[in-house]
Structure 1
Amino acid sequence: MDVEDNDRHYYPILAGQRKDIAYKITNTGKNPLMITDIITSCGCLNVDKGTAVFTIPPGKDRILTLSYNSAKNVGYVKHYITLYGNFEKALFKELVFDINVVPNAMYTLDYEELYADEVKKDGGVKEFVDGSENNKGYYMDVDLSKSVHQTR
C-alpha cells in the first residue's frame, strides 16, 4: 500500500472551521487490498459514510475522505487515522496529519458556543424534531412489585 503525501502539515485554520481531508491510497500489491476498519484518534475526525470498509484492486487507487471539525481543538494538534486490513507485513497502517487551530483574536468561543452556532447552521432541525436538550421532560422509576393493581 502506498499513501500519497502521508504525514501532512496543514496551514492554520480558525477554531470552529471544518476541513475536508482526502488521502489517495494505492494498492501496490498483487492481491486486492481490503480495508476492514478505520479508527481515528479523535471524535473530531469523521470518515465519510460508506467509506469505512472498502477494497482496492491490485494496481488501482482510491480516495479516502474525512471531515475534520476544529471546534474541539485549539493550538497545535496531531491526528492519526489507523487503517486495519490485509496488509502484507503489518497489522495496521497509519495516516498522519497535523494542523494549528487558531482562536479568533477578538473573542474566543467556548465549545458550547461553537456547538450552538453549528446547530443554528443546520436550521435547528434536530432541536425541532428531538426537542431542546435542556427541556426533555422527566421520567419516573417504576417498582412493579408495588403495583396498585395487584391481585390477592
Structure 2
Amino acid sequence: MPIEQQTTHLDDSLRVLALEVADDLAELATVRAWAERLLQDLPEDQRVDALMVVDELTSNALRHGKPPRQVRLLRKRDWLSVEVDDACVDPACPRPPSSDGGHGLKLVAAMSASWGQWQRPTGKTVWAELDLTRAASPGHPR
C-alpha cells in the first residue's frame, strides 16, 4: 500500500503533496482515490482532466518505469503540476497508438497546458502542468 507523505508548505501559495507508489498496477486505484480526495474542490471538468493526467502518468510509470515511484501534486490557486518519478533512465516517449496503448502521452498533452520530463542519473520525472484559470468550454477535449 502506498505511503502518503506529509504536506509540505513551501510558502503561503504552494502546496506539495506526495504519494509513494508500490510496484503493482493495482496501485492505480489507490492513486486515483488519493488525487480525487485532494482535488475535490476543483470544478468537475478541471478535476476530470487532472485525474486523467495523474492516471496516465502513473500508469506509464508502472508499466514502463522501475521502482521506486512517487506521484506529486504541486498546487497553487490557479495552477497544478503533476509529477511522477521512477527509476528508469529511458525517456518517456509517445508511441504510435494501437489496440494495446500509445494514447497516454497524447491525452496528457491534450489535457495539460504543457508537459515534459527531467532526466536524472537515477531515473526521470515526467510532469504536466494544468492551468486552473481556464473556464469550462463545451469544445474542451475529453
TM-score, normalising length: structure 1: 0.26
Flag the structure with higher helix content: 2
TM-score, normalising length: structure 2: 0.28
Flag the structure with higher strand content: 1
By relative contact order (CA 8 Å, sep 6+), the higher-ranking structure is 1
Larger Rg: 1
